[in-house]
Amino acid sequence: MNDAAFEIAATAARMVVEEGLAFGPSKQRALKALGLPGRTALPSNDEVEAQVLDYIALFCADTQPGELQALREHALTWMQRLTEFRPHLGGAVWQGWATRLSDIDLALFCDDPKSAEIALINQNLRYETQTVRGMHGDDVDVLSLHSFCPDLHEDIGVHLRIYDLDDLRGALLPDAQGRAPRGDLAALKLLLSR
């Protein structure tokens, strides 16, 4: 990684940890904050993640493990609540570098894509819908809501990405580092038992 990419990754990592930004927006903001040209090559997400882990080890080692545990337990509650939709936890909470500013990202694999939305309506939950790029590059609907996390004493963003049941087949393919990109209820319970 060249010097500019390293600086972008380090600055983006600080924004991820301190502001709860996602990797993409944090890299763009880091580019601007450093005053670099818009065509500067950006670091990969793996390079930013490495810097996030370093930043956490230096500045958050005393608080981050407890915050991660609280977020994983809160994710478990939501996964149990939505078990009929085969929930899989992904993102920072699954990978282990989440802080109290991180959101919970769940992938739901539904027989009928509208069924998850109907379940939220039936539970009188307010949510917002948006469309984002999904795991296979296709657009997917995301149902976003706020949920109070008792252990952190604050609201946490919970994002439910809605996939077809057929998408489950490729959802667990390992990433470039050989890690599972998401885990089901049993996998999360195993993480929590460690």
pLDDT digits (tens, 9 = 90+) for 81-108: 999 999 999 999 999 999 999 999 999 9
User: Do 97 and 83 contact (CB within 8 A), yes or no?
Assistant: no
Which pTM value belongs to this model? Answer: 0.91
pLDDT of residue 133: 87
Structure-model confidence comparison of residues 102 and 173, the more confident one: 102
pLDDT higher than 80, residue 73: yes
Closest C-alpha among 25, 16, 88 to residue 49: 16
User: Mean of the pLDDT values across residues 24-32?
Assistant: 94
pLDDT higher than 80, residue 28: yes
User: Mean of the pLDDT values across residues 136-143?
Assistant: 89
User: Mean of the pLDDT values across residues 61-81?
Assistant: 97
User: How are beta strands 139-149 and 154-164 bridged, if at all?
Assistant: antiparallel
pLDDT of residue 138: 85
Closest C-alpha among 1, 88, 86 to residue 50: 1
Query: Where in the chain do CATH 3.30.460.10 domains reside?
Result: 64-193
Per-residue pLDDT band at 177 (split at 50, 70, 90): confident
Q: How many CB atoms lie within 10 A of CB 171?
A: 19
| Average model confidence (pLDDT) across the chain | 93
Per-residue pLDDT band at 175 (split at 50, 70, 90): confident
Per-residue pLDDT band at 129 (split at 50, 70, 90): very high
Q: What dotted CATH number matches 64-193?
A: 3.30.460.10
| Separation between Cα atoms, residue 17 and residue 55, nearest integer Å | 8
Q: Which of 2-16, 144-158, 166-180 has the lowest mean pLDDT?
A: 166-180
